[in-house]
A and B are shown apart, each in its own frame.
Chain A
Amino acid sequence: MMQDIKKWAFGSLWLFILTIPFLGIINALYFLVSLIVLAILWFIYKPFEQNILDVQSKLLQLPMPSIRWSLYFVIAILVLILPFISDQYITNVATSAITYIVLALGLNIVVGFAGLLDLGYVAFYAVGAYSYALLSTKAGLSFWAVLPLSAIMAAIFGIILGFPTLRLRGDYLAIVTLGFGEMIRITLNNWDSVTGGPNGILNIKGPATLGLSFSQPHHYYYLIIIIGIFTIFAVNRLNNSRIGRAWVAIREDEIAAEAMGINIVKMKLLAFALGASFAGIAGGFFASKMKFVSPESFTFFESVIILCMVVLGGMGSIPGVILGAVVLIILPESLRGFQNYRMIIFGAAMVLIMLFRPQGFIGGVRRRLELHPEDEKILKQETESLYDVKQK
């Protein structure tokens, strides 16, 4: 309790001081007041946290098929009819949100499952988008032929970039992947003859099928829904497979994993390649929808946002990552009215979430254990089990 009060006090004060130069003292004070209101809400919520967590973990862990499936069903219906109950703007935001779900789920393979911190993930998004742009404008191939090729190109880059980083861990890996991300962007920016340099590539063809050529926002919306569903199924299958277990083992203890007979090199490269291939698909879709690609869309900031979706949502948890992506797209959009302040509010929200829910929105039970090893419940279990042994 005391600790939480301290955290809030420091957090709010820090954000207050940080925002004075941008907002002016008066607005910053408003900001501080709203933080204090948030704090009060938090302390009201806190006593119920354990109950909420219990309910949540029951919902997630235990098979409660009826409730879970009806929830999914309602969401599915809402998602399907969205273009009919809203306007083009919302449809576009939703399309972008689902694109980011695909990206975040892909990065989740690398960061969440295999535990490899990748700060250059946007590079694979760029490779997918440019592959699509080039193959579609120069080679004149159709969307359905190019999309898988974009995925394959991105996967190849995943392996090429992954290979030299195999021996690196943690911070070093993060720095090197960050460098790779920038290298790709700078190459795209300077290789004028192929990529068009800063001007990018124009007049990219969109998809067409059965005589329908995609032009309306809702065409793309339904297309990305199909891609999104495919991604969710694929990532879920991977998570529950032999490969998924091997990734978790590598994340937890590389040497022990090696001693179990897991081929570390192969599994890490597989994580990079599969993670990248989803970014490639998302990139291909992005290029086909925008009809235009340029290096500006693939900055380091994009990598950071996608990583935030994974971390805020709850590393390794598929529903968590989906929620993270939705929140991080919708939050800044819904703050558009606040103009310049929206990035500050956005940043503040992220800092607060990390302070108070380090495991993310829906951190699996696993994350919770990892980040709060001092949790009483576990300690109790531990002493109990120790006691058992002594009894025998």
Chain B
Amino acid sequence: MGGGGALLKIDNIHTSYGVIEALKGVSLKVKEGEIACLLGANGAGKSTTLLTICGVNKPTKGQITFFSRTINGLPPHEIVEEGISLVPEGRRVFPMLTVYENLRMGAFVRRDKMGIEEDLESIYKNFPILKERKNQMAGTLSGGEQQMLAIARALISRPRLLLLDEPSLGLAPIMVEKIFKIIKDINKSGATILLVEQNAALALEIADYGYVMETGKIAMEDKAEKLLKNKKIKEIYLGG
């Protein structure tokens, strides 16, 4: 494989909120077809990294390449068209739109009506609960259902890279398991995934490669199975 297989390559990016520098030189790679996970404590800069990749935040320094094309500096809507899709932290579904309308928003950049309808059908097949509730306001869904909707909404743009920000946040254990199974299935069906998680044990279990962030920098990186056995990781993130 080597470096040639890198779908996404982030090279030494810096991102600031006003005077606060949240990212102080982050570098990472995501290879085509893999699940990479990004771990780290609260405030380490994980969400900022994802938001910088998809253009919502602009890096002050560094380079982001996707399919060997430089994408930093592009506006978010062009990055979505390149094939990167984000499931934001805290789900952020549109609460006053119905489930169906939310899914239509996900397909905003697509113009092929037929294709969208087909994908909607396959999404309804994979997420039967969304079909059941397709005319219900998204704000009235339960947390787990909203998370499924957020994922489905991101999938419908047919991303080549899916960015997931803490999909297990605030969910009951059964729901978390379900969501992780869905993530694995999405990956099997061909999408590359960059997963941000607090739940390190679960994330490393499904991931191929892992990065650990600390205060705006990558502090450690390795194959997922090796990180799982790493002493320091065990101590800090896996509860001893």
- Asked if chains A and B come from one complex, the reply is yes
Q: Contact residues of A with B, CB < 8 Å?
A: 242, 245-246, 248-249, 252-253, 255-265, 365-366, 369-370, 373, 378, 381-382, 385-386, 388-390, 392
Q: Hey, which chain B residues are within 8 Å of A256, CB to CB?
A: 88, 92-94
Task: Pull 20 A–B residue pairs with CB atoms less than 8 Å apart, ordered by A.
Answer: A245-B105, A246-B108, A249-B94, A249-B108, A252-B94, A252-B96, A255-B92, A257-B105, A259-B76, A259-B92, A260-B108, A261-B108, A261-B109, A261-B157, A264-B77, A366-B96, A369-B96, A370-B96, A382-B140, A389-B142
Interchain CB contact under 8 A, B101 and A245: yes
CA distance A96 to B96 in the complex (A): 34
Interchain CB contact under 8 A, A259 and B140: no
Interchain CB contact under 8 A, B172 and A390: yes
Interchain CB contact under 8 A, B94 and A259: no
Interchain CB contact under 8 A, B140 and A260: no
Interchain CB contact under 8 A, B105 and A249: yes
Interchain CB contact under 8 A, B88 and A261: no
Interchain CB contact under 8 A, B109 and A252: no
Most chain A CB neighbours (cut-off 10 Å) among B96, B129, B137: B96
Asked if B24 lies at the interface with its beta carbon under 8 angstroms from chain A, I say no
Interchain CB contact under 8 A, A262 and B96: no
Interchain CB contact under 8 A, B88 and A255: yes
Distance in angstroms from B87 CB to nearest chain A CB is 9
Q: Hey, which chain A residues are within 8 Å of B56, CB to CB?
A: 255, 258-259
Instruction: Please classify the interface of chain A as helix (H, G, I), strand (E, B), loop, or mixed, using the class held by over half of its residues.
Output: helix
CA distance A6 to B109 in the complex (A): 50
Cβ-neighbour of A248 out of B97, B145, B153 (below 8 A): B97
Asked if B86 lies at the interface with its beta carbon under 8 angstroms from chain A, I say yes
Q: Contact residues of B with A, CB < 8 Å?
A: 51, 54-56, 75-77, 80-81, 85-86, 88, 92-97, 101, 104-106, 108-109, 129, 133, 136-137, 139-145, 153, 157, 172, 174-175
Interchain CB contact under 8 A, A369 and B137: yes
CA distance A262 to B77 in the complex (A): 6
Q: Hey, which chain A residues are within 8 Å of B81, CB to CB?
A: 261
CA distance A386 to B141 in the complex (A): 8
Q: Closest residue of chain A to B92, judged by CB?
A: A256
Cβ-neighbour of A260 out of B51, B105, B137, B142 (below 8 A): B105
Interchain CB contact under 8 A, B142 and A252: no
Distance in angstroms from A243 CB to nearest chain B CB is 11
Given contacts A261-B108, A390-B172, contact A249 B77 (CB under 8 A): no
CA distance A366 to B175 in the complex (A): 28
Q: Hey, which chain B residues are within 8 Å of A248, CB to CB?
A: 94, 96-97
CA distance A29 to B34 in the complex (A): 76
CA distance A369 to B136 in the complex (A): 12
CA distance A386 to B172 in the complex (A): 11
Distance in angstroms from B140 CB to nearest chain A CB is 5
Interchain CB contact under 8 A, B101 and A260: no
Interchain CB contact under 8 A, A386 and B142: yes
Interchain CB contact under 8 A, B80 and A252: no
Q: Closest residue of chain A to B154, judged by CB?
A: A259
Interchain CB contact under 8 A, B106 and A260: yes
Distance in angstroms from B64 CB to nearest chain A CB is 16
Most chain B CB neighbours (cut-off 10 Å) among A248, A252, A259: A259
Interchain CB contact under 8 A, A263 and B94: no
Given contacts A389-B145, A390-B172, contact A259 B96 (CB under 8 A): no
Distance in angstroms from B84 CB to nearest chain A CB is 9
Q: Hey, which chain B residues are within 8 Å of A263, CB to CB?
A: 75, 77
Interchain CB contact under 8 A, A378 and B140: yes
CA distance A386 to B133 in the complex (A): 13
Q: Hey, which chain A residues are within 8 Å of B133, CB to CB?
A: 385
Q: Hey, which chain A residues are within 8 Å of B139, CB to CB?
A: 369, 373
Q: Closest residue of chain A to B57, judged by CB?
A: A255
Q: Hey, which chain A residues are within 8 Å of B105, CB to CB?
A: 245-246, 249, 257, 260, 262
